C-alpha cells in the first residue's frame, strides 16, 4: 500500500496521510559541525505513562482540488504542542531546546496553512496513522537531520505507543524499531551523501576532505531497501564540506580541496550527481517494490556568520512569505526537483512509485525553529555549537 494516490484510501484519509508524512519530515538533512554526536542517542529505556498521553482533537481534512499542502504560510496555533520534552523521551539532547533554557515558547505555537484549502489541515492523529501503516515498514535515509525527523514522528506517535529495538545488526547507525501492536517498523539508515563516501580520519577538522564516488550509490542503504514499503531519502549540508569527486574510480575534480592539479568543481555538480546516482540505484533495484519519497532540502538559518564563525539564529517568529530568500538553498532545491522529475519519468516506465515531499518553502519560513544556543549547556563554546540546522522538538517539524 502506498501513502499517496491509492484508490483504496478515502480522499480525506489520503490527504491526512500525506500531510502526516510531509510535516513529520519537514526538515532536512545533514550536519555542518562537529558536535553531532553519539549515534546511540535515539532511545532510553523508558516507557510512556498514561498521564503523558495527550488527547488529539478531531479534524476534517480539506479536499478542494486546488489545495496544495506544500505552498502556504505559518499561522498561530494556540493549541500546540501535542507533546512536550517531558512527555517524549526520544528527543536527542541537542534538539531538547527547553531543557537548555530556551526562554520563549511561541516557536511551537504555529501551524502550516496551505494555500487554496477550504479548511485547516487535520490535526495529526497517531491512532489513524498507526492503523494505516499496520504491517508496513518505513526507512529514513540520510544523516542526523533525517533522524531528527524520525524522532519527531516517534514523539507524535508516543501518545499511543513507543517502538522497541528490533535491530538485525549491531550498528547504531542502522537500527530498526518496531511498534509491536501494529507490526510497524521504522529504521534510520545513515548516509551523509547518499553515494559511497570515505570520511576523513577521526580528529580531523571541518576542513578535512571527503572522497565522494559520485557514480556509486551507498550500498549500506541500497542493499537494505528491499525490506521496506516506504523509503524517504534526503541529503543536504554535508555537501558543503570539502570533497574530492570520483567517477569510474578516477578523480575528476574537487570542491575546496586545495590539491594540486585538480580542477575545482562547484558543490552543485556533486549534489546533482549524488541524487542522480541515488535515484538510479532505486530504479535499478530488483528487490524494492515500495514507494520512494524525496524530501526536499530544508535550509539552515545562520545569521551573523557561518556555523563555525559564531553564526546564530535567534529570531522569534516565522518569516512572512517572500520576505527573504537564499539563492544557494533555492539552487539546491531546484537541482533536487529537476533530478526527481528526470527519474520519475523512468520510474513510471518501470512501474515504480516515486513521490515528492516538497517541504523547502515551509521550512525556509521558520528561522525561529532551530536550537541555536539552546542545544547545549550555557557554558559550552557557542562559537562552535550554535545549531541552526536541526530543529527543536517539539517544534516546526511537528506542526
pLDDT for residue 38 is more than 60: no
Note down the domain range covering 150.
11-385
| Whether 136 contacts 230, CB under 8 Å | yes
Average pLDDT, the chain: 82
pTM: 0.82
Q: In percent, how much of the chain has pLDDT > 70? A: 80
Pairing of strands 177-179, 164-165: antiparallel
More confident residue, 385 or 219: 219
Query: For residues 2-15, b (16+ Cβ closer than 10 Å) or e, as one string?
Result: bbbeeeebeeebbb
Q: What nine digits make up the cell of 355?
A: 513521490
**Dihedral pair phi/psi, residue 344, rounded to 5°:** -65, -35
The residues pairing with 255 across neighbouring beta strands, listed in sequence order, are 243
Q: Is residue 4 part of a domain?
A: no
Q: What nine digits make up the cell of 190?
A: 545513515
Residue 249 CA to residue 304 CA, distance in Å, equals: 40
Catalytic residue list = 144, 387, 390
pLDDT for residue 207 is more than 70: no
Band the pLDDT of 297: cuts 50, 70, 90: very high
- Into how many domains does the chain fold? 1
More confident residue, 270 or 321: 270
Q: What nine digits make up the cell of 265?
A: 568543481
pLDDT for residue 359 is more than 80: yes
User: 10 Å Cβ neighbour count for 162?
Assistant: 18
Element (H, E) at 187: strand 184-190
Q: Is residue 397 part of a domain?
A: no
Q: Is residue 3 part of a domain?
A: no
Q: Is residue 349 part of a domain?
A: yes
Q: Is residue 1 part of a domain?
A: no
Q: Is residue 287 part of a domain?
A: yes
Q: Is residue 6 part of a domain?
A: no
**Winning range, highest mean pLDDT, from 14-18, 38-42, 282-286, 308-312:** 282-286
Q: Is residue 5 part of a domain?
A: no
Q: What nine digits make up the cell of 344?
A: 520519475
DSSP helix/strand/coil, 179: strand
Amino acid at each position: 500500500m502506498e501513502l499517496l494516490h491509492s484508490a483504496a484510501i478515502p480522499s480525506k484519509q489520503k490527504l491526512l496521510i500525506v500531510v502526516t508524512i510531509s510535516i513529520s519530515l519537514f526538515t532536512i538533512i545533514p550536519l555542518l559541525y562537529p558536535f553531532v554526536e553519539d549515534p546511540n542517542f535515539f532511545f532510553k529505556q523508558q516507557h510512556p505513562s498514561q498521564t503523558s498521553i495527550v488527547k488529539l482533537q478531531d479534524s476534517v481534512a480539506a479536499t478542494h482540488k486546488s489545495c496544495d499542502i506544500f505552498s502556504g504560510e505559518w499561522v498561530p496555533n494556540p493549541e500546540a504542542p501535542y507533546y512536550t520534552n517531558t512527555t517524549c523521551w526520544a528527543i536527542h539532547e541537542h534538539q531538547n531546546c527547553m531543557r537548555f533554557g530556551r526562554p520563549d515558547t511561541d516557536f511551537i505555537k504555529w501551524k502550516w496553512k496551505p494555500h487554496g484549502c477550504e479548511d485547516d489541515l487535520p490535526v495529526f492523529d497517531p491512532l489513524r496513522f498507526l492503523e494505516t501503516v499496520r504491517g508496513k515498514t518505513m526507512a529514513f535515509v540520510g544523516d542526523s537531520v533525517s533522524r531528527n525527523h524520525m524522532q519527531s514522528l516517534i514523539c507524535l506517535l508516543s501518545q499511543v505507543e513507543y517502538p522497541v529495538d528490533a535491530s538485525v545488526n549491531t550498528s547504531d547507525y542502522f537500527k530498526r524499531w518496531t511498534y509491536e501492536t501494529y507490526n510497524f517498523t521504522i529504521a534510520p539508515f545513515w548516509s551523509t551523501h547518499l553515494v559511497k563516501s570515505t570520511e576523513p580520519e577521526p580528529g580531523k577538522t571541518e576542513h578535512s576532505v571527503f572522497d565522494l564516488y559520485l557514480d556509486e550509490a551507498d550500498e549500506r542503504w541500497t542493499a537494505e531497501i528491499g525490506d521496506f514499503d516506504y523509503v524517504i531519502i534526503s541529503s543536504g549540508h554535508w555537501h558543503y564540506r570539502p570533497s574530492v569527486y570520483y567517477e569510474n574510480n578516477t578523480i575528476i575534480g574537487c570542491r575546496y580541496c586545495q590539491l594540486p592539479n585538480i580542477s575545482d568543481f562547484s558543490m552543485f555538480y556533486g549534489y546533482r550527481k549524488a541524487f542522480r546516482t541515488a535515484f538510479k540505484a532505486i530504479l535499478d533495484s530488483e528487490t524494492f517494490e515500495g514507494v520512494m519519497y524525496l524530501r526536499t532540502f530544508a535550509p539552515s538559518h545562520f545569521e551573523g556568520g557561518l556555523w563555525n564563525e559564531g553564526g546564530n539564529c535567534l529570531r522569534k517568529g516565522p518569516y512572512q512569505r517572500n520576505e527573504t530568500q537564499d539563492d544557494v538553498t533555492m539552487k539546491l532545491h531546484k537541482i533536487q526537483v529537476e533530478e526527481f522529475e528526470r527519474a520519475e519519468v523512468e520510474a513510471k516506465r518501470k512501474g515504480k512509485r516515486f513521490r515528492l515531499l516538497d517541504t523547502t518553502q515551509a521550512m525556509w519560513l521558520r528561522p525561529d525553529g532551530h536550537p541555536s544556543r539552546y542545544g547545549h549547556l550555557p557554558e559550552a563554546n557557542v562559537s562552535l555549537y550554535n545549531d541552526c540546522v536541526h530543529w527543536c522538538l517539539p517544534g516546526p517539524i511537528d506542526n
